[in-house]
Amino acid sequence: MDISKEIRLKVKKRNTLKGVTFEFEVGKENFYFMESWFEKPDGQEMADGIVNTE
């Protein structure tokens, strides 16, 4: 996803709605922990990829 951190931080709404894709709550601590692991995919990884933008 090519979406700003500010928008991705809006997990509170997802946590409240608990829609069909909801698996578990994501708190800010977990968000920042996983954010540090994120690596943008390179061109080869995105050869058949789909990009979601804001």
DSSP state of 33: H
pLDDT of 6 reads 84
pLDDT of 31 reads 87
Q: How far is CA 22 from CA 8, 17, 19, 45, in A?
A: 15, 8, 5, 26
Taking 70 as the pLDDT cut, the residues of the chain under it are: 1
pLDDT of 38 reads 80
The model scores a pTM over 0.85 = no
The closest alpha carbon to 11, from 40, 38, 19, belongs to 19
- Output the six-digit token pair for 10: 């809006």
Are 8 and 52 a contacting pair, CB within 8 Å?
no
The closest alpha carbon to 30, from 4, 8, 53, 3, belongs to 8
